[in-house]
Structure formats: C-alpha cells, structure tokens
Amino acid sequence: MTRLVLLLLTAFIGTAFAAERNAFFAMDTIARGGAEKVVPMLKELGYDGLGGAPGDAKMAAALKNAGLRFYNGYITLAFSHAKSPLDDPLKRRIDAMQGYEAALWLAISRVETEAGPARNSSEDGDAVAIAAIREIADYASTRGVKIALYPHTASWLERVEDAVRLANKLNRADIGATFNLCHWLKVEGPERNPEPVLRAALPRLMFVTINGADTGATKSMGWDRLIQPLGRGTYDTAAFMKTLASVGYKGPIGFQGFGIREEPHAVLKETMEAWRRMNP
C-alpha cells in the first residue's frame, strides 16, 4: 500500500469518526441576547446552534444564515380535558418555526382530567395529554416541526420515563423524548444509574442536555449547584457522556445554563473547552 493511499485512508477514517460526534448547541438560558449578539458568539466559539424560544423567527433565520441551526423552541403548557391546547398564539409560534428542521421542546406542567388534577409523573393524565400532544403534532407536522417532550422537575411530565411512555403510546416518528441531566439529578439523585433509562429511551430520544453539577444529596440542592458551566462541579459529566456514547446516542446535545449569572461569553467559552476535552 502506497504512502498516498495510507494518507487518504487515514483522512477518510478521521472524517468518518468526526461525523459520528454529537452536535453541541447552547440553550438561550445562557446564550442570552438578541440574534445580533448570540449568533456571532456561538459561531466564534464553535457551537452548532441554539435551543431558544418558539416563534423567534429572527433568531432562527440569523442562525441559518450563519450556517448554524435552530434546534428547538422551549415552551411549557398545561393541558385540560375541557380545552384545546392549540390556540392562536401556539399556532403562530409553530408557524414561525417552519423551514428550520426544529422541534417544539414541550414541557407539561399539569394535566387536568375530568376527575381533577393528575398526579405528577403518573399515568392518570395520559389520555388527556396524549390527545393534546396529538393535536399539536398534527398541526406541527404539516410545517415540518417535531415535538420533543421535556421532563421538568415538579411538573406532571417530570421523569424521562414519562416522556418515553407518552412517545411510545403516540408511536409517531415526529414525537420523541428529552433527557435533561440537571432534572435527572434533582428528581432521581446521583445513585440511580442512567444507563438503563437512556438505553430504553434511545429509540425515542431526540435531545440530551448536560452541564456541570455537584454530586451528593442532589434532590435537595439548588440550581446553583445542579447547573454549572461544563467541567465544573463534582458530578462526573464526562462519565455520563461515555454512557451516552455506549448506548449509541448520536443526536444533539445541549448545554443548559439556567441561573448561571456569570458573563455568557466566558461561560460558553469555558464550556466549549470542557466539551472538547470530553470529545478529543
């Protein structure tokens, strides 16, 4: 085999390996400001895009023009058996996401059934929630917008398993689940092994969010300890990343920066440096 062939083969293998790496985006909880500030900052620091607000067409367009991606728009809704969730404001937000291959990042704070409020993280509200999600997804799908269910502490949709259960029952390619590390630590604690949950969620898993965090009694910790720049804290986020890779997750990963009060550029720079250390 000639030296040239070896060099070409090495380059091909390197390119193929790089293509397997997860996209890394920042959430607007830390990438704060208008498009004129956020987009150049993400581009400079090497992020692949943003998770922002649904309906922010100016931001989505600016990202696309810069070769970046608007991954998702976060929204929290409450569902009721007596009311359609698909009101005009939600329709306008979804309409503005058309053309960007984006997902509506949907947290569900509560579900009201005919018998009263459904208990958090229970199947009591599944029938109402499934009907509501299906109605939203039917509208969104015609605009190329997917639905990614977002587990959130102290909400009806609180656990990753809740999102997977709903996605499985709906059984649609345009409806999936999210794993949020900070909410996992707050709800489950660091003792529970995330690997079986990630493995079970994998067919439905659209997004994962990470950050630096402390370990220990995480259920009683505040967000200042559970959400830190990547690379900080005593929780082994690098080991979590290896777990993600071991189960075969190849989708986008977002950096959650909610509540971090330091200057965004510095935090995002530090986080990107930690990301690259974890993904050499």
State pLDDT tens for residues 17-74.
344 789 999 999 999 999 999 999 999 999 999 999 999 999 999 999 999 999 999 9
Average pLDDT over residues 112-121: 98
pLDDT at residue 8, as a whole number:
41
* Single-letter amino acid, residue 235: Y
Q: Report the alpha-carbon distance of residue 268 to residue 33 in Å, rounded.
A: 14
The topology under which CATH files domain 21-278 is: TIM Barrel (3.20.20)
- pLDDT for 6 beyond 50: no
User: Mean of the per-residue pLDDT values for the chain?
Assistant: 94
Q: Both tokens of residue 32? A: 């704060």
Q: Tell me the percentage of the chain whose pLDDT exceeds 70.
A: 93
Task: Tell me the domain boundaries of the chain.
Answer: 21-278
Taking the whole predicted model, whether its pTM rises above 0.75 is answered as: yes
Q: Report the alpha-carbon distance of residue 161 to residue 231 in Å, rounded.
A: 27
Strand ranges in the chain using DSSP code E only, listed in sequence order:
24-27, 49-52, 69-80, 103-113, 116-117, 146-149, 175-180, 205-210, 253-255
pLDDT at residue 15, as a whole number:
39
- Beta carbons of 121 and 169 less than 8 angstroms apart: no
**Residues linked to residue 70 through DSSP beta bridges, in sequence order:** 50
- Beta carbons of 209 and 253 less than 8 angstroms apart: yes
Give one word for 238, left, alpha or beta, with left for phi > 0 and alpha for psi -120 to 50: alpha
Q: Report the alpha-carbon distance of residue 31 to residue 176 in Å, rounded.
A: 25
The label of the residue with tokens 């630590």 reads 185
pLDDT tens sequence across 150-177: 999 999 999 999 999 999 999 999 999 9
Q: For 15-19, 93-97, 188-192, which range has the lowest pLDDT when averaged over its residues?
A: 15-19
φ, ψ of residue 148 to 5 degrees: the values are: -115, 110
Half-sphere exposure of 167 (CA within 13 A, CB side): 27
pLDDT at residue 20, as a whole number:
72
